Amino acid sequence: MLIHPVPTPLTQFLWNLFIGIALVITLYTCNFYYLVFLARQKKKTKSVELKEIPTVTIQLPIYNEKYVAARLVNAVCAQDYPKEKLCIQVLDDSDDDTFTILEDLVNDYKKKGFDIMHVRRGNRKGYKAGALRHAMSFAKGDFVAIFDADFIPPSWFLKKALSYFCKPEIGLVQCRWGHVNEKYSALTMAQALSLDFHFLIEQQAKSNSHLFMNFNGTAGVWRRDCIEDAGGWHTATLVEDLDLSYRAQMKGWKCVFIPDIVVDAELPVQMNAAKRQQFRWAKGSIQCAIKLLGDVVIKKIPVDTKIQAFVQLTRHIAFPLMLMQFLILPVLLATKINLYIVSGLPALTILAYLAMGPLVYIMIIRDLYNTSWKSKALSYFYMVFYSAGMSVNNTVAVFDALFGKKNEFLRTPKFGIIKKSDDWRDKAYALPFTKTTLLELFFGVYGIIGIFIAIFSENPIFAPIIGIQTIGFFYIAYLSISHSTFKKGKSRNMPVTSGNQRMANTYYKFAMGGIMGLILLGVVMAFEEYSTTIYPLDQARGLLLRIQATSDPQSIHNDLKAVKTLLPPSGNPVWIFPTDDTDFGLMQGDLTTMLATTDKIATTSPDSAAFHTGMLNVHYQASTIVFNLLDATPYMYVSISNMLFGCIWVGVIIGIFAMLKRKRERLRAYEVEDN
């Protein structure tokens, strides 16, 4: 028999917060399903045959992309489009070898008759948005196409994309991203499916309707009048593309998405690069929400458009909400609060989670991919762990935006990786892991403790739910660290003969071993702490519940003796504001009284009034102690010793990070000397 106690004020607050968060996340999820419905409305965007070939400017914003920059320029110059109608702007802010590569390439194409210019600003003011804004002053023609460095536009791209500007109010034609290296790893497969969902569902749904859709920063063509009417490129946010597209649509321009035009691009193959990209998108979206939502509210646009704009601009709020839920759930489980949708029917709870998540997504995948859906279904499970683990990184980004922290626009490094046999670890631009990895490890260890709590609190149905996020945190943290190591003794930018290569690799290996050892130590200590302090309280509650269900004095006597040995002889886990209810010394006194009462009624007739009165008293006291133990249990997790160990544990990991930072600075100093 499982008793669900009356919650304390703190527990009630956490319960209300948990349910409130669940409702908000559910609303965001249901909105995605609404977009699925809109995307299924097969509305084909009209196109017209070009009677006159318009002049087009192609802008290529590039910063330190020596592995892919030439590939992009070659693809753009291979466009099946008249040279005299094409203006190519290579917006190069690079400060490495990319500059030389592009300078030579641009000069070669100039000799071949191309109107191509190598634009150098001398600084990175405004970053990508600044480069685009600077180049608009000498752009030619009525249309502007934009490609990031890792994209490979097909030769027919311009003619086909321009054919969709069949109405004067169409200001943007956004094309779908393809993936040249989708099968490279589980990481790229997860990213590819996530992007496909964005384009084939979100962008398609909004293009089909009057909802606002966003420019994705690349693989799109703008009408020049639209850019200028919307106020041009702004540099206030990290997502200048989302900012401009929303301002344009509030001015009455229409943005359309064309799924049939697919432009292949390279997905990040290094976890730290993928995290940087996700961080920029998450922070930039919140920055745009702060900047634009006021205008969205007051503009004369449909109510559902306002709602969808709010959802799109704020959807990354779901990540900190997910983390809050993750932290709260084990606490609620430890207090024995009923979390089932219908009391006593845990199966219904897990079915609800499955119905809202995997089952619906698998159906969507079958509809989108037809015969290839099974391989995509495998990618979905990779995406689940990837998205769950990325919640820490994106939560930091959200708070950065909310608190107005200024960040440099950090581009996502690419390595020219296409085939599985391609390797990136000995190339420049590989990123080291950051302090966010420390938080991911913390949440991973916390998740393991949460799984134990779910199992021992007789709520194993929640163990897989906690486990998915836990695996995600460890997956992201592991790849963040392992993708920071050097391969074949090569530093990111150092000559092969440098004597510091092996030292760098050794430091990272030691760091990796130290952090994994600390994780293992944390898990062992958490399990040991649970088995010695929390689990005995669970056993004591079980015995007290059995006492309430029996009237056998001898059985009650034996159980009471066992309970006395399981509970601490004295002390109060609520060390900040202690109460009598959670005082173990008082509980021991109550148990002693119960033993005396049990021994006394054992000498009376079971049919006597004294026996029944004494037994009722024992049952009532047992029930009271059960509730007292439920109140005390959560505070056992935050004992002074646990907090001290946690601080030491975190401090050691921070020390490892500090050691690596110092070593990285020394390696950079050696690099300067060697060069």
Which residues are catalytically annotated? 93, 241
Q: If DSSP codes are grouped into helix, strand and coil, which group holds residue 146?
A: strand
CA 382 to chain centre: 13
> What is d(CA 206, CA 212) in angstroms, rounded to the nearest whole number?
6
Q: How far is CA 546 from CA 3, 129, 439, 509, in A?
A: 12, 69, 42, 53
Fill in the DSSP letter of residue 435: T
Burial label, 42 (beta-carbon count in 10 A; 0-12, 13-18, 19+)? exposed
Q: How far is CA 53 from CA 49, 76, 163, in A?
A: 10, 17, 10
SS3 6: coil
Report strand pairing: 220-223 vs 143-146. antiparallel
Neighbours of 488 (CB within 10 A): 10
CB atoms within 10 A of CB 428: 16
490 and 501 in contact (C-beta within 8 Å)? Answer: yes
Neighbours of 262 (CB within 10 A): 16
Distance separating alpha carbons of residues 449 and 375, to the nearest angstrom: 33
DSSP code of residue 253: -
In 3-state terms, what secondary structure has residue 143? strand
Distance CA 474, CA 476 (A): 6
- What is the radius of gyration, based on Cα positions, of the chain? 31
Read off φ and ψ for residue 281, nearest 5 degrees.
-65, -45
Q: Cα(59)–Cα(67) distance, rounded to whole angstroms? A: 19
> What letter would DSSP give residue 251?
T
Sequence-separated (6 or more) residues with CB below 8 Å from residue 83: 113, 114, 115
For 535, residues 6+ apart whose C-beta sits below 8 A from its C-beta are 456
436-456 vs 463-482: helix axis angle to the nearest 10? Answer: 160
- Strand, coil or helix: what is 339? coil
**How many DSSP H helices and E strands does the chain contain?**
24, 8
**Whole-angstrom distance, CA of residue 431 vs CA of residue 270:** 8
Asked whether 223 and 171 are in contact (CB, 8 A), the reply is yes
Q: Are 226 and 256 in contact (CB under 8 A)?
A: no
Query: In this structure, are strands 170-179 and 254-265 parallel, antiparallel, or unpaired?
Result: parallel
Interatomic CA distance for residues 180 and 397, integer angstroms: 28
CB 478 within 8 A of CB 654: no
Secondary structure element (H or E) that encloses residue 127, with its range? helix 127-136
Contact predicate 503/441, CB 8 Å: no
> In sequence order, what are the residues at sequence separation of 6 or more whose Cβ sits closer than 8 angstroms to the Cβ of residue 156?
80
